[in-house]
């Protein structure tokens, strides 16, 4: 996403990071506030926002994530003039299967059904998702209206609308720290000098925690690396094949380029170095894990060979909830971070909530305390190294700054 550099000097709002979170927030704020969006890379949307599988998944474990997802999904059906010549998403449907824990996701399904989302138990999933033919499945949910989104198109529209209403995107500029006067955050330091601002929004993905730590704030976000692999062409791949996720064992497939995009749902802690560039290559271990899971969980795809692929960073708070809104310990600082594996799914509503709170408006549809940067952090939490919920590893939350 190319940059233009005209010249907002002391904006009302500086947003750090031009991924989905930053661009959506800019789109929601522009016009009512002067907005300067700063990106360390040479283009917007080149980190986690370019590394995802694009599945819009409303049937998630966390209720607050589901609220953001439902709102974004509703918007995706008619996103408006800034996306008029783009196709930011399309309906494919989805199947979420459980092989060991048949009762998982029932509470989430009830929550969605109460809001009118079509979520159905299905006993012949292979009729809907041929990739599941022959799979031993204990329970299955079918969501016929689930979508896949194209993050590149989402960002193009967010930026188009934000710029049309006066926002500026400046690329190749790294924020090196937050500027404080007393408790208040009053701008940012960059590698090209300081910038004053009425408010700062941290939307720096995997890099966010370090910026907060620099001003003594304990906001423990942990980047977890995940692999995505592309198979050769496969006869079962079709554009309308629903994306298919074996949720408890940890394997998903999504039709792509005549084959399938596959993830074994691996997780490995991997903080990024300063500066852009978080994309990695798939390790032999992750490739073997993907092949093993395809053979053992999806026999219909046992002959699908994963060839190319990449890895990217999903960044989580210990409770795997996003960190959104005003920071109670640093007036002037706002958060749009911790979007883990749901940043596409929740993209529109994340910007909507963060912008609403920044303007001092109520956001009645989201529980502010539950996503607040000032909430209590668990000291230990579970990571799924091999993607399987039954073989988790305990992670210690990073300690507070001294």
Task: Scan for tokens 């507070």, then name that residue.
Answer: 400
Choose between 17 and 125: whose C-beta lies nearer to ligand FAD. 17
Residue 20 found at the interface with ligand FAD (CB under 6 A):
yes
- What's the half-sphere exposure (Cβ side, CA atoms, 13 Å) at 226? 26
CB of 20 to ligand FAD, least distance (A): 4
Q: Which stretch binds ligand FAD (CB under 6 A): 27-35, 87-95, 311-319, 324-332?
A: 311-319
DSSP string, 250-313: TEEEEEETTEEEEE----EE-PPPSSS---B---HHHHHHHHHHHHHH-GGGTTPPEEEEEEEE
Residue 186 found at the interface with ligand FAD (CB under 6 A):
no
Residue 351 found at the interface with ligand FAD (CB under 6 A):
no
Member of 219, 226, 293, 334 binding ligand FAD (CB under 6 A): 226
Residue 159 found at the interface with ligand FAD (CB under 6 A):
no
What is residue 370's DSSP assignment? H
CB of 36 to ligand FAD, least distance (A): 11
Choose between 65 and 134: whose C-beta lies nearer to ligand FAD. 65
CB atoms within 10 A of CB 134: 12
Residue 323 found at the interface with ligand FAD (CB under 6 A):
no
In the chain, helix, strand, coil percent, each to 5? 25, 30, 45
Residue 345 found at the interface with ligand FAD (CB under 6 A):
yes
Residue 217 found at the interface with ligand FAD (CB under 6 A):
no
Member of 13, 29, 38, 156 binding ligand FAD (CB under 6 A): 38
Structure tokens at 103: 């009762």
Count of residues in the chain: 402
Residue 41 found at the interface with ligand FAD (CB under 6 A):
yes
Choose between 16 and 300: whose C-beta lies nearer to ligand FAD. 16
Residues touching ligand FAD: how many (CB under 6 A)? 41
Contact code string over 161-180 relative to ligand FAD, x by CB under 6 A: -------------xx-----
Please give the residues from 49 up to 88 whose contact with ligand FAD meets the rule CB under 6 A: 49, 51-55
User: Phi and psi at residue 43, in whole multiples of 5°?
Assistant: -155, 160
CB atoms within 10 A of CB 308: 13
- What's the half-sphere exposure (Cβ side, CA atoms, 13 Å) at 260? 30
Residue 236 found at the interface with ligand FAD (CB under 6 A):
no
Q: Which stretch binds ligand FAD (CB under 6 A): 12-20, 29-37, 128-136, 326-334?
A: 12-20
Member of 201, 246, 249, 313 binding ligand FAD (CB under 6 A): 313
Choose between 326 and 341: whose C-beta lies nearer to ligand FAD. 341
User: Phi and psi at residue 125, in whole multiples of 5°?
Assistant: -60, -30
Pairing of strands 55-56, 199-202: unpaired
CA 111 to chain centre: 21
Residue 89 found at the interface with ligand FAD (CB under 6 A):
no
Residue 219 found at the interface with ligand FAD (CB under 6 A):
no
Cα end-to-end distance, the chain, whole Å: 39
Q: Give dist(CA 257, CA 232) in Å, integer.
A: 9
CB of 296 to ligand FAD, least distance (A): 22
Choose between 72 and 103: whose C-beta lies nearer to ligand FAD. 72
Q: In what order do the strands lie in the sheet with 193-196?
A: 175-181, 184-190, 193-196
Binding site for ligand FAD (CB under 6 A): 16-22, 38-41, 46-49, 51-55, 174-175, 203-207, 226, 228, 276, 312-314, 337, 339-345
């Amino acid at each position: 996403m190319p940059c233009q550099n005209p010249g907002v000097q002391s904006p009302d709002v500086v947003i750090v990071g031009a991924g989905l979170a930053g661009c959506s927030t800019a789109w929601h704020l522009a016009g009512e506030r002067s907005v300067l969006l700063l990106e360390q890379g040479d283009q917007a949307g080149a980190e986690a926002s370019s590394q995802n599988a694009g599945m819009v998944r409303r049937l998630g474990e966390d209720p607050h994530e589901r609220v953001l997802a439902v709102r974004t999904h509703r918007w995706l059906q008619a996103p408006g003039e800034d996306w008029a010549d783009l196709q930011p998403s399309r309906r494919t449907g989805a199947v979420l299967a459980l092989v060991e824990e048949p009762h998982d996701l029932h509470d989430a399904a009830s929550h969605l059904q109460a809001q009118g989302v079509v979520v159905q138990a299905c006993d012949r999933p292979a009729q809907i998702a041929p990739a599941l033919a022959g799979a031993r499945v204990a329970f299955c949910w079918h969501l016929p209206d689930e979508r896949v989104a194209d993050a590149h198109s989402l960002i193009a529209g967010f930026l188009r609308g934000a710029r049309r209403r006066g926002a500026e995107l400046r690329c190749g500029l790294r924020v090196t720290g937050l500027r404080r006067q007393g408790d208040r955050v009053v701008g940012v330091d960059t590698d090209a000098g300081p910038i004053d601002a009425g408010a700062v929004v941290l939307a720096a993905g995997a890099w966010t925690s370090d910026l907060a730590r620099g001003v003594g704030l304990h906001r423990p976000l942990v980047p977890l690396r995940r692999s995505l692999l592309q198979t050769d062409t496969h006869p079962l791949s079709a554009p309308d094949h629903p994306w298919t996720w074996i949720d408890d064992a940890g394997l998903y497939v999504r039709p792509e380029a005549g084959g399938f995009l596959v993830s074994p749902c691996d997780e490995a802690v991997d903080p990024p170095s300063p500066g852009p560039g978080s994309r990695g290559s798939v390790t032999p271990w992750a490739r073997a894990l993907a092949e093993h899971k395809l053979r053992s969980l999806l026999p219909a795809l046992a002959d699908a060979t994963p060839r190319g692929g990449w890895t990217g960073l999903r960044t989580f708070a210990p409770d795997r909830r996003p960190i959104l809104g005003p920071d109670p310990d640093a007036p002037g600082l706002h958060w749009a971070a911790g979007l883990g594996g749901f940043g596409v799914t929740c993209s529109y509503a994340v910007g909507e909530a963060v912008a609403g709170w920044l303007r001092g408006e109520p956001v009645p549809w989201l529980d502010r305390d539950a996503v607040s940067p000032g909430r209590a952090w668990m000291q230990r939490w579970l990571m799924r190294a091999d993607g399987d919920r039954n073989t988790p590893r305990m992670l210690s939350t990073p300690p507070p700054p001294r």
